[in-house]
């Protein structure tokens, strides 16, 4: 009997559905739950759009930092060796990019995230609100044992 005719049979369909249901039900039973592990979520933020990260160094550090920026505070102009994944957990972070001649602000409120591409993308992050900004930054492609931040001069396109 050809395969197409077998698959058309109601009996065969019932068997296939039963086998599929058994696999779906059995899969969680085959998983291995963890034991003795705790790990509080430090931050969570929605990332709008697609993201693609590329690491250039064959060996590099990954650095995770929790930052608090006081009202009126800022990071100073800087860049990074590689991409940085940022999650804003409190307040509103305002980001300015040196390559924007109009110095437009990009606001990231608590519960959002973004990726700084690094590699010469000079910027400054400011807290222009009345409450502290808290964020978690994960720096990728950091030179082993090296700095994850590259200070940069004020590009002169923003007047704060």
- When comparing pLDDT for 57 and 149, which is higher? 149
Rounded Cα gap, residues 32 and 138, in angstroms: 29
Q: With the C-alpha atoms ordered 44, 45, 47, 51, is the resulting torsion angle positive or negative?
A: negative
Q: How much is the pTM? A: 0.76
Instruction: Find out whether 132 and 91 touch, Cβ atoms under 8 Å.
Output: yes
Whether residue 68 is predicted with pLDDT greater than 60 in this model: the reply is yes
The predicted structure's pLDDT at residue 6:
52
Whether residue 11 is predicted with pLDDT greater than 70 in this model: the reply is no
* Strand, helix or coil for residue 70: coil
81 closest CA partner among 3, 151, 12: 151
Taking all residues of the chain, what is their mean pLDDT, rounded to a whole number? 86
- When comparing pLDDT for 20 and 106, which is higher? 106
% pLDDT > 70, the chain: 81
* Poorest-pLDDT segment among 11-20, 71-80, 138-147: 11-20
Give the DSSP H or E segment for 15. Answer: helix 10-30
76 closest CA partner among 159, 158, 153: 153
Whether residue 30 is predicted with pLDDT greater than 80 in this model: the reply is no
Instruction: Find out whether 19 and 105 touch, Cβ atoms under 8 Å.
Output: no
Which residues have C-beta within 8 Å of that of residue 101, sequence separation ≥ 6? Answer: 157
The predicted structure's pLDDT at residue 48:
85
The predicted structure's pLDDT at residue 32:
81
């Amino acid at each position: 009997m050809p395969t197409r005719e077998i698959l058309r049979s109601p009996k065969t369909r019932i068997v296939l559905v039963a086998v599929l249901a058994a696999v779906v039900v059995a899969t969680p039973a085959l998983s291995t739950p963890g034991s003795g592990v705790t790990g509080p979520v430090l931050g969570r933020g929605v990332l709008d759009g697609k993201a693609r990260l590329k690491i250039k160094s064959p060996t590099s550090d990954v650095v995770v930092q929790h930052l608090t920026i006081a009202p009126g505070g800022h990071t100073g102009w800087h860049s990074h060796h590689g991409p940085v994944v940022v999650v804003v957990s409190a307040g509103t972070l305002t980001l300015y990019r040196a390559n924007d001649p109009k110095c437009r602000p990009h606001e990231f409120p608590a519960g959002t995230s973004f990726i700084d591409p690094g590699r010469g993308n000079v910027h400054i992050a400011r807290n222009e609100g009345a409450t502290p900004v808290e964020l978690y930054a994960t720096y990728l492609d950091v030179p082993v044992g090296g700095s994850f931040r590259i200070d940069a001069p004020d590009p002169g396109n923003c007047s704060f």
